[in-house]
Amino acid sequence: MPAIVVVGVQWGDEGKGKVVDYLASKSDFVVRYQGGNNAGHTIVFDNKTFAMHLVPSGVFLPGVQNVIGNGVVVDPKALRSEVELLESKGIRVRGRLHVSLSAHVILPYHIILDGLREESGHGIGTTRRGIGPCYEDKVARVGVRVADYLEPETFKVLVDQNLRLRACDLEKVKPLAQVREEVFAEYASLRKFLKPFCGDTPSLLETALRARKRVLLESAQGAMLDVDFGTYPFVTSSNPIAGGACAGAGIGPMAVSGVVGVTKAYTTRVGLGPFPTEIEGRTAAYLRQVGKEYGATTGRPRRIGWLDLVQLRAALRVNGVSALAMMKLDTLANVHPIKVATAYKVGGKRVAEFPISRAGQLDAEPVYETFPGFSGDLTGVRTFAGLPKAAQDYVLAMEELLKTPIPIVSVGQDREQTISRGKGIIWP
């Protein structure tokens, strides 16, 4: 039963959308298994750039079915806007998008609560889309699932219950009656929009896998934002790691035959939290400008850093990565020299493992190895041999240091700007 997981192995924004789009050409299903519309995948299709937030990246390939799994939190209004945008550009979505009845629903009061927390001085730099509060309701067993949302009487009971539970916080912003009015303002039209897409997606995927269909599972965010294994508490509210794919899609672990990790040729991070290899100054400004390092969801400038092998080794281990895709190699062109963190110093001692403690993560000082830079425009290169030798050497060195094959190298946003090295099995 061939299923492949595509997961970011840094702090998100690695270019997973492009990798999924690239691999989806040989897939039958693409499944998003966690996160919400706080995530963003930037896809270039037909010379147009799309920032996707909920709809899986396989939507741009006509023969591919797309699933929003039960592990995702869904804002119906955001989903409707995304579907309408795609359809306005001639991309057929209806009949090709399936939303799990077990997915939880983001409602207006979740967004209010998210904003309150960020403004209280205890925020972590969220996108204020309501993702965290929605996951909180899920874990507290008071959440509203898609199945509940589609049943008006059930929905009303749950909303009234939750407004009472959250009244103390919500009334700091506006009267509870006004919040309730906002929840129901577009409910009828949103329910009508959402209903045709919804179904028992685990059964759909089981049928597909038994028929030997190829299923590609895509994460949002990245491994270092995982609620269990990331730089806690500066993390997301779900499990982006490959282990979250089965729970978030409703399939068994034996279905997964490989994990493709996605990394940039350097490192970025959005939001607050530890970032050992972060740099500032001219090099950071150059990489941000050339790499267009601004969040697909918020437009926030991303923090910039050198590639961090300590962090990557931790992410590769916890995800069981079988192959890596290295993105934005072209952005590193004209940077001389290139630094890579191969170890840390924590408390004055050299360590090879990423620290688990908050203090250790904040204290981590990178130990760098220097590599020769390379020059020129790489965006037109289509073979590995066509890259400058120093660029080839950089990829090969990372492959050796990480003990993981790098069969995919990206030199631009377009699907065609992808170099396949012909090594490292992606599909069985």
Catalytically annotated residues: 13, 41
Greatest distance between any 2 Cα atoms in the chain: 66
Query: Which whole-number Å values give the CA distances from 305 to 267, 268, 364, in the listed order?
Result: 5, 6, 14
Three-state SS at 94: coil
Query: Which whole-number Å values give the CA distances from 40 to 286, 290, 360, 386, in the listed order?
Result: 23, 19, 30, 31
Q: Provide the token pair at 159.
A: 């909303």
How far apart, in whole angstroms, are the C-alpha atoms of residue 300 and residue 374? 29
- Phi and psi dihedrals of 406, rounded to 5? -120, 80
Element (H, E) at 19: helix 16-23
293 within 8 A of 268, measured Cβ to Cβ: yes
Cross-strand pairs, 410: 418
219 within 8 A of 121, measured Cβ to Cβ: no
Q: Provide the token pair at 156.
A: 């009303």
218 within 8 A of 57, measured Cβ to Cβ: yes
Q: Which residues contact 22 (CB under 8 A, 6 or more apart)?
A: 408, 415, 418
Q: Which residues contact 355 (CB under 8 A, 6 or more apart)?
A: 344, 346, 361, 363, 364
Element (H, E) at 408: strand 408-410
